[in-house]
Structure 1
């Protein structure tokens, strides 16, 4: 199978609501250069999150649900920057900022396939104390994803994946497929508590049958209706 045709992402590509933009990121490539390493990952699973006032439906699962804070400031900024936050005090999770001007939104990069820099991604994972059972697990799950590509909170929060400008010793570039994938599946977000993690918010998108997609689990107080 020939590789997909890719093009550099633009800010205009990311100006829509996160729930609309998110499925278009599937099959896209994110390339990170840091410390002499180059890692490219093909995105296979993402989740959309809306901030306060973003779109017609309030999102109780978003970091920006109550408005701007020091933690979520990047989500309120220019589309195309990466919001890198710390999860459980350990994992650096990566989001692509999207949304209309003056609103907040992020698309969590939940999983992907390492297509360039497999050895570097493996080393990054092992340096962070990870256990890697197979190549499909290198960037399977948002914590593993962040570790594998080498972005760290708080150092790389705000790095620009459109301009590719250097940010604290690293660069990031996002390339989109010229034609969107057709085999996209949608469902509830993984491990999100309460109604935000139910099928009322089918804001998780993934490539059907891709082995790198992370396993699903209901969040606290969520579940099928």
Structure 2
């Protein structure tokens, strides 16, 4: 029997992963969303950090937008106990439970009171892939694809073990937060823009943004990607 320990040191965040400023998240969600593609969502656990690269998002407009109403947004009918964090300062997590089965993770944007929000729909696993598979109760972790691991709002929350009771309302820009947004200098990608998925209201709005051609995007489309998305 070998005397070598099987204990693994906790995974740490790379030193080169920088922070995202509050100002970065002040514009409207349809402007912030494509800027967030390629950024990192990191989650601290007792076993170290998990992290994934953001490859797909959907923007949801605040109720102050009267020219293009967005009844699909949770903020559409005003502030409630459920959506209160959306009306606070930008850079916080809004987590909700859907269909009695899944959590969904969102990032607040725009100034306090405006309630812009961005749903993260898919990640590319970067740190802690084995633990993500364990969180999703996937035993054959070596044969599961990255897409099957963290593609889709419910899957990525399960993989990172994000829940509303533990993670709703967190400051994603704080170094002491267990849930953070980070930037490793990933170059601006080609962006594909489509309509949002799985909603009945305002379904025609082109507010879904993804890294063009990325294998972890939750649903393929035939739309032409836009490069260097203008903001």
Interval of TM-score (by shorter of Structure 1 and Structure 2): 0.7 to 0.9
Give distance in 2, aligned partners of 1:114 and 1:52.
34
Find the counterpart in structure 2 of residue 197 from structure 1.
203
Deviation at 1:134, TM superposition (A): 2.1
After superposition, give the CA deviation of every residue in 1:30-66 in whole Å (9 maximum; x if it has no partner).
Answer: 1100233421100000000112114742111101111
Deviation at 1:179, TM superposition (A): 7.0
Change (3 A) 1:44 1:38: same
* TM-align CA RMSD: 2.2
Matched, 1:9 2:16: no
Find the counterpart in structure 2 of residue 83 from structure 1.
94
Aligned with residue 215 of structure 1, among 177, 202, 219:
219
> Counterparts in 2 of 1:155-174, with a 5 A limit?
155-166=166-177, 171-174=178-181
Deviation at 1:22, TM superposition (A): 0.3
Give distance in 2, aligned partners of 1:126 and 1:137.
12
Look up the SS of the partner of 2:165 in the other structure: coil
Matched, 1:181 2:199: no
- 8 Å Cα contact 1:15-1:101 kept in structure 2: no
- 8 Å Cα contact 1:51-1:67 kept in structure 2: no
Moved more, 173-182 or 99-108: 173-182
Find the counterpart in structure 1 of residue 228 from structure 2.
none
Unaligned runs of 5+ in 2: 1-15, 222-231
Find the counterpart in structure 1 of residue 73 from structure 2.
62
Q: How does the TM-score come out when normalised to structure 2?
A: 0.81
- 8 Å Cα contact 2:92-2:169 kept in structure 1: yes
After superposition, give the CA deviation of every residue in 1:119-172 in whole Å (9 maximum; x if it has no partner).
Answer: 111111118xxxx84232111000001111121122210111101334xxxx01
Give distance in 2, aligned partners of 1:202 and 1:65.
18
- 8 Å Cα contact 1:40-1:116 kept in structure 2: yes
Find the counterpart in structure 2 of residue 222 from structure 1.
none
Find the counterpart in structure 2 of residue 21 from structure 1.
32
- 8 Å Cα contact 1:22-1:205 kept in structure 2: yes
